[in-house]
Amino acid sequence: MTYRVLITDHPAATLDVERSVFAAAGVDMVVASTTDPAELAVLAADVDAIATCFAHVTAQVLESATRCRTVARFGVGLDNIDVARATELGMIVTNVPVYCVDEVADHTLMMVLALARRLVPFVNDTAAGAWNRSFAPTPVRLRGKTFGAIGLGSIGSALVPRMASLGMNVVGLGRRCGVTDGVTAVDSLEELLSVADVVSLHLPLNESTRHTIGGAELALMKQSAWLINTSRGGLVDTEALTAALTAGSIAGAGLDVSDPEPLPPGHPLRTSSNVLLTPHYAFSSDGSMADLSRSAAQHVVDVLGGRLPECIVNEAVLASPALRASEIVR
């Protein structure tokens, strides 16, 4: 039997890796040319699986996919997939939680170093023909400063030795504080914000974490502190951050993600001299993209072949009478 998988969108430049994995398993690809949910719903009507990166797989899309057994995310976060509705409909949802740990940790480290060394203004000024060491604020020594990690999953934990290698003290807030070497646990978000010279977010986005950093939280940070977000844009209240940076309440920010994403043309954060913006690309490298494509495609193949995939995010579906992949070998 030939199965069909809808590719709503994909992170790599080509689908060569996915095509290879699917071809070996007799799975045909339907590649969408749009991410509009209404059009995706039409394409999903006769597929056995959906693989998605950033496109929104809404309840409308899922309900139209009457024979779909699984939704595979090219990535970690699940805020673009209606996981609850997929579970009700008996679909297994998977993600790839560890494909880009080093990349995101390195990107976060890069942002900290770039802010500390005033890298971007110095590079831009020098490229424009100047040779001026005094136009930007004096670079900051990181040794002895405090790095605050909000969330100590794979990426947050990977940052601990990186920051310690710079001579920074690391404080953390998260369930892994007690088992992550080199981290001093704090009792509350308020305590972390008040002591950290760098505040770095490493959380999933859901209703309980949305706007973890808002106006009240920014007011608790040191005036000399930087905020780094390489996780999800919705973790930060963009209006509150813009106001804090404009007022000089904090020293700067490094953002690989934003809310909305992308920021509209002319938004103040696009041109702020104390803000580093990158286009939600911290996850990317030649190695991570290949790992991501292969893993997500393999999850689809496993479910369609009656095997348990490696990373199920809605495990309750396995005990549901609605489970569409009822032949799964547990």
Would you give the distance in Å from CA 301 to the centre of its chain? 24
301: tokens are 């193949």
How big is the chain, counted in residues? 330
Q: Alpha-carbon distance 118 to 149, whole Å?
A: 22
Q: If you search the block for the tokens 């971007």, which residue do you land on?
A: 120
Asked if 217 is an active-site residue, the reply is: no
Asked if 232 is an active-site residue, the reply is: yes
Q: Alpha-carbon distance 154 to 138, whole Å?
A: 33
Q: Alpha-carbon distance 20 to 15, whole Å?
A: 9
> Which amino acid is residue 107, in one-letter code?
H
Q: Alpha-carbon distance 174 to 150, whole Å?
A: 7
The secondary structure of residue 3, as a DSSP letter, is E
Asked if 299 is an active-site residue, the reply is: no
Q: Cα separations (Å) of 302 from 106, 125, 231, 298, 308?
A: 32, 53, 28, 6, 6
Catalytic residue among 210, 267, 280, 307: 280
Catalytic residue among 4, 73, 118, 232: 232
Catalytic residue among 39, 191, 261, 267: 261
Where in the sequence numbering do the catalytic residues fall?
232, 261, 280
